[in-house]
Amino acid sequence: MDTNSLLSIVLIVVAVYIVKNYILSSAVPPPKPSAKSSAARAKAAKDAPKKYYTAEEVSVHDKEDDLWLIIDGKVYDVTPYVDKHMGGLAIMRNAGKDSSKGFHGDQHPVKVAQILEDFYIGELKV
């Protein structure tokens, strides 16, 4: 085998290596496993044994970074939703308290009740 043939083979091997690595590096990564859908989380929460909270237990969760609400006798941890609330910090008006009256106001479309279910954590103990 002469030097030119050997050089050609080496160049082909290097080119194949470069192309292979380029293709592998630009490939779309496989999708990450998705978190449970909100519907699946809500169903899991409903199927799980119910937890009960007193009004006193709920009342200590009255800050933007730790916000629970009571709505129609159910307890919701809406902390992750505070920054997304379309009404801004109006969500804080009844922080740690019964917010049923405000929740059922004209400002909330039907979809809000569906969103709320994602944050359900238990029932109010009376």
pTM of the complete model: 0.63
3-state secondary structure of 120: strand
Contacts of residue 45, Cβ cutoff 8 Å, sequence gap at least 6: 117, 120, 121
How confident is the model at residue 111, as a pLDDT?
Answer: 85
> pLDDT at residue 99 above 90?
yes
State how far the Cα of 66 lies from the Cα of 43, in Å rounded to an integer.
Answer: 23
Per-residue pLDDT tens over the stretch 44-95: 666 778 999 999 999 999 999 999 999 999 999 999 999 988 888 989 999 9
How confident is the model at residue 76, as a pLDDT?
Answer: 97
Per-residue pLDDT tens over the stretch 14-50: 777 776 666 655 554 444 444 455 556 556 666 778 9
β-pair type (66-71, 74-77): antiparallel
Superfamily of 38-124 according to CATH: Cytochrome b5-like heme/steroid binding domain (3.10.120.10)
Q: What angle do CA 49, 65, 81 make, to 5 degrees?
A: 65
Q: How many other C-beta atoms can be found within 10 angstroms of the C-beta atom of residue 70?
A: 21
Q: With contact defined as beta carbons under 8 Å apart, do 77 and 67 qualify?
A: yes
